[in-house]
Every structure is written in structure tokens, then in C-alpha cells.
Amino acid sequence: MKLPRQKMPEQEPEERRQNFAEVNLGLDEALARREALRCLECASPRCTQGCPVGVKVREFIQLVLEGDYLGAAAKIREDNVLPAITGRVCPQEHQCEGSCILGRRGEPVGIGYLERFVADYERAHGGPALPAPAPPTGKRVAIVGSGPAGLSAAGDLVRLGHEVVVLEALHEIGGVLVYGIPEFRLPKEIVRQEVENLKRMGVEFRTNVVVGKTVTLDELLGEEGFDAVFVATGAGLPVFLNIPGEHLCGVYSANEFLTRVNLMKAYRDDYDEPVFDCRGRDVVVIGGGNTAMDAVRTALRLGAATATIVYRRSEAEMPARLEEVKHAREEGVRFQFLTSPVEFLDDGRGWLEGLRCVRMALGEPDASGRRRPVPVPGSEFVIPARMAVIAVGNRGNPLVQSTTPDLETTPEGYIKADPVTLKTSKRGVFAGGDIVTGGATVILAMGAGRRAARAIDEYLRTGVW
């Protein structure tokens, strides 16, 4: 217990703000073994209870201590088909590490660091030894969306012997993992390799299939011959501020901005610029979550003169991961807390030139449990900006729901599904992840994918709805 938590090596701030290479560099074997020594090997490991997919944390850390890194990776893969991804982007501080006993008196075991270490070791030494699938059941499952919920469900279902086809609307597999998370936090090659592992297990992927346009749910269950469908389309519809000037050139939603940078490769010098050139310009990002941090740090790397976060509450209320806020501040991101935009200002030619804001004060808590921000009269001021990115949340894309009249939805447009079985109002159709819960985390979506796989398997084997 006297051992301190090992620090993750990382690029220096002045260096990393000039490139899109990964910020965190990973533990070496010595650091990993030293961090693993901190595990108390609890008889009833709360870390596993805190993990949405139930990774056997104590067991895999014991294998790290023994030097059996491939065995440790295999142990994680019993419950998590994407360890190299979750080891990088999972908010462990609120889940497995947040449940660690060591965290009561100091810093918890670096479970995420160790997960990343063994996944990277596995990748560097030939890739995973994939589990043998169960005998074929003859049943076919379509998964709509290739984000974390869809990929997690696909991995479990194919191991159970079912034929699995994942349908993706975009041209690259991975959903939010490839279009929403920047290269410096999650390299695309890591996502591609995890997808390749699923292909080797037998999962079929089809891109450029827009369910609701290319094909409907009824057609999937009818002439396409699928026995069940899992809808995992995520929450990719941006929320806007609905204030004057939002239509101006230079104003983006975070979805559009990050998708253009990620899938259209704006982070590479050998590609034409698919976003407004922000080199030498002032950029403002509105929001306080991880998506806002991703957008503002991306703008810096694209050459912004200044990159500023505008957030209507205080730093204590920010939902972004502490590590992401720390990295942003080290890289030179500015923060305007207790500030809310009221108007995007026109330069007279239809382009953004600034953001009119008002100072806020915190009042009584709202439904989220955070203190509600209220405007301070007479406190308006202007922040110069030639580009603005709105990162204040997302909603579910309504396409699947709008073309499936017997699929029940919530007033907010999300699909209604049983919280345990993820069954919807339509026989044979399951739904999970952000399209049910609203925007959440990668690992919570993966947990939904695993629950869906269990329920789909039971339905296919019993026929009971």
C-alpha cells in the first residue's frame, strides 16, 4: 500500500499540441509489474462489480504479476472484446477504479493503464488467440450500427454460434470510435485491428448501409432472413443552442467537426482541408464534456491561435474526465467558466467574428444534481472567434424509428427497451446503448451490447418473447 501509483509516460505538451500522435505512451513491463503489485487481491473485488462488462480485474492483474501478459489479455477478452480501446477511453475513475478499495486512502490501482498495457502487448506479439465459437445454431442476427454497443454484441453472439452481420451507415467500421474520438486519444489503427479480430471470429461487416433508407427493420426480419435485430445506432444527432447567428459560416456542431477531421483525415498534411482553416485564428468550443475537450484540443492541433472552452457552470461541475481537462490545460487551452453564449456575431459577410456571452451564477440544483446556472444581469461581453464548435450534447438519430411505426419511442425520440433484456415493442428487435439511454460512455454502451447478446441468444434458442 506504500507503493505510489505509477505515472503514465506521455508526450510533452509543447510537442504534442503540434501533432496528432497519441498523447499517452503506455506503460513498459517494469512499470506495469510495479503497478500490478499495488493490487490488494480483494476476496470480493469491487472493481469487477464496478465494470459495466464485468472484467475479472483481480485475475488479469495476477497474471500480469506472473509475467503472463498474453494470458492476462485473454482473461480480459472473456468479457471485453475491445480491451485496447477501453484501456484508452474508458472513464475508469468512475467505474472499476472508482470502486477500488485503495482509492479510499489514496490513488486506486491503475486498472485502465494495465488493461491498455496487456492489450498493446498482445497486439505486438501476434494478436489474440481467438476463442473457438460454439457449434453453428443456424440463426442469423443483424446489428444496426458498428459502435461499441454493436461491436460488443457481435463478439458475444458470434462466439455463441450465431451468424452475425453488422450494418454500418458510414464507410468505415467503428461508429463513434472512429468518427468521434480524435487520433491523439484513440488511434484509428487500433480500432481497425479490433474490428479485424471480430472478422476473424466470423462477424460480417457491411458498410454504406443506411437502415431506414437502404433497408428497413421489417425487411431485415422478412425477405433478408434475419431472426433477430439489435439496434445500436447511438446518439449521433447534434443538439444546438438555438441562439441568433448559429447559421453563420464557421459555426460547427461537434459531430460535424470531429467527423470531418477523423473520417476525412484533416489531421493529415497530405489531405485537402475538409474543415474551415483555423490556422492563426481564434476558436471557441461551447461545452464541458469529453467531446468538447476532444474538439478544442483538435482545433489547437489544426493550428488555432487560441482555443477556448466556454462552459456555463464552474470547473467542479464539468463532466469531462479529469485527465482530459488536465491535458487540455497543459496544451494551452483557455477556459471561460460560468459563461454562456447568447449570440454568434456576423462579420457582415456571413462569417463568424465573435461570440456574445453572458456571465452566469450557480443557483439551486437541477434534475442532473448540478447547480443550475442563471444569467448575471448586465454582464454581457464578447469573445473574438472565427470558428465555433457546439458540443452540448446529442440525441438519437430518428431514421430507424421513423420507418418502423410499431417501434415504441420515448418523448425525446429514443427507442423504448426493457432495461434488462433490451427487448423493444417489436418482436425480434432489441435495442441498446445511446439510442436507448442517450449519450453515455463507450463502456456503458458495451455493457448494453453484452446484455443484448445474452437476451438475443435466449430468444433465438427458446422462441419466447
Q: Which CATH superfamily is domain 140-236+394-462 in?
A: FAD/NAD(P)-binding domain (3.50.50.60)
Mean pLDDT of the chain: 94
DSSP 6: P
**Half-sphere exposure in the Cβ direction for 240 (13 Å, CA):** 13
Task: Look at residue 99 in the predicted model and tell me its pLDDT.
Answer: 94
- Can you give the residue ranges of every domain in the chain? 13-125, 140-236+394-462, 240-390
Which amino acid is residue 428, in one-letter code? G
Task: Find, among 85, 88, 106, 309, the residue nearest to 198 by Cα.
Answer: 85
CA distances (Å), 420 to each of 255, 417, 435, 455, in order? 30, 9, 15, 8
Task: Give percent of the chain above pLDDT 70.
Answer: 100
pTM: 0.92
Task: Look at residue 463 in the predicted model and tell me its pLDDT.
Answer: 93
Taking the C-alpha atoms of residue 248 and residue 232, their distance in angstroms, rounded to an integer, is 33
Taking the C-alpha atoms of residue 147 and residue 139, their distance in angstroms, rounded to an integer, is 22
Taking the C-alpha atoms of residue 443 and residue 450, their distance in angstroms, rounded to an integer, is 10
Taking the C-alpha atoms of residue 217 and residue 209, their distance in angstroms, rounded to an integer, is 12
Task: Look at residue 126 in the predicted model and tell me its pLDDT.
Answer: 87
Confidence band of 193 (pLDDT split at 50, 70, 90):
very high
Task: Look at residue 376 in the predicted model and tell me its pLDDT.
Answer: 96
Taking the C-alpha atoms of residue 190 and residue 463, their distance in angstroms, rounded to an integer, is 38
Taking the C-alpha atoms of residue 80 and residue 446, their distance in angstroms, rounded to an integer, is 8
Confidence band of 59 (pLDDT split at 50, 70, 90):
very high
1 pLDDT exceeds 80?
no
Q: How many CB atoms lie within 10 A of CB 1?
A: 8
Helices (H), 127-267: 148-159, 176-179, 188-201, 217-221, 254-263
430 pLDDT exceeds 80?
yes
Give the residues across from 346 on adjacent strands: 352
Confidence band of 113 (pLDDT split at 50, 70, 90):
very high
7-29 per-position pLDDT tens digit = 999 999 999 999 999 999 999 99
Taking the C-alpha atoms of residue 112 and residue 96, their distance in angstroms, rounded to an integer, is 9
Fold match between 140-236+394-462 and 240-390? yes
Confidence band of 367 (pLDDT split at 50, 70, 90):
confident
39 pLDDT exceeds 90?
yes
Length of the chain: 465
- Is there a contact between 57 and 45 (Cβ–Cβ < 8 Å)? yes
Pick the CATH number of 13-125 from 1.10.1060.10, 3.40.50.720, 3.40.630.30, 1.25.40.10: 1.10.1060.10
| Pairing outcome for strands 306-310 and 282-286 | parallel
Confidence band of 365 (pLDDT split at 50, 70, 90):
confident
81 pLDDT exceeds 80?
yes
Q: How many CB atoms lie within 10 A of CB 109?
A: 27
**Half-sphere exposure in the Cβ direction for 316 (13 Å, CA):** 6
CA distances (Å), 49 to each of 52, 57, 235, 279, 342, in order? 8, 10, 26, 46, 43
Where would I find the beta strands (DSSP E) of 38-195? 140-144, 163-167
The contacts of residue 349 (CB under 8 Å, 6+ apart) are none
212-267 per-position pLDDT tens digit = 999 999 999 999 999 999 999 998 889 999 999 999 999 999 999 999 999 988 88
List the grid coordinates of 297: 484540443
Fold topology of 240-390 = FAD/NAD(P)-binding domain (3.50.50)
274 pLDDT exceeds 90?
no
Task: Look at residue 353 in the predicted model and tell me its pLDDT.
Answer: 97
Task: Look at residue 10 in the predicted model and tell me its pLDDT.
Answer: 96
Task: Look at residue 85 in the predicted model and tell me its pLDDT.
Answer: 94
Task: Look at residue 266 in the predicted model and tell me its pLDDT.
Answer: 86
Confidence band of 364 (pLDDT split at 50, 70, 90):
confident
